[in-house]
Amino acid sequence: MRAQTIFITGAVAGIGCETARLFHARGWQVGVYDVDAKGVECLLAELGPCASGGVLDVTDAEAFAQTLHHFAGHHGRLDVLLNNAGIASVGDFESIDTGRHARIVDINLKGVINGCHAALPWLRQTPDSSRVINLASASAIYGTPGYASYSATKFAVRGLSEALNIEWQRYGIPVFDLLPVFVNTAMLTPMRGNAIVRRLGVRLQASDVAATIWQVANTRRCRRVHWYVGMQARLMALANKYVPDFLNRAIMRAISGY
pLDDT per position in the chain (258 positions), as tens? Answer: 678 999 999 999 999 999 999 999 999 999 999 999 999 999 999 999 889 999 999 999 999 999 999 999 999 999 999 999 999 999 999 999 999 999 999 999 999 999 999 999 999 999 788 999 999 999 999 999 999 999 999 999 999 999 999 999 999 999 999 999 999 998 888 787 788 888 888 899 999 999 999 999 999 877 899 999 999 999 999 999 999 999 999 999 999 999
Q: Give me the pLDDT at residue 224, please.
A: 92
pTM: 0.95
Nearest residue to 234 (alpha-carbon basis) of 203, 194, 193: 203
Q: Report the phi/psi class of residue 152: left, alpha or beta, with left for phi > 0 and alpha for psi in -120 to 50.
A: alpha
**What pLDDT was estimated at residue 129?**
85
Task: Report the length, in residues, of the chain.
Answer: 258
Among 137, 174, 173, which residue's Cα sits nearest to residue 158?
Answer: 137
Question: Residue 156 in contact with residue 113, Cβ under 8 Å?
Answer: no
Evaluate the CA torsion angle 104, 200, 225, 30 in order and state its sign: positive
Report domain 5-256's class. Answer: alpha beta
Q: What is the pLDDT of residue 223?
A: 80
Burial of residue 38 (number of CB atoms within 10 Å: 0-12, 13-18, 19+): exposed
pLDDT of residue 128: 81
Distances (CA, A) of 28 to 2, 31, 51, 237: 9, 10, 9, 32
Residue 215 CB neighbour total at 10 angstroms: 13
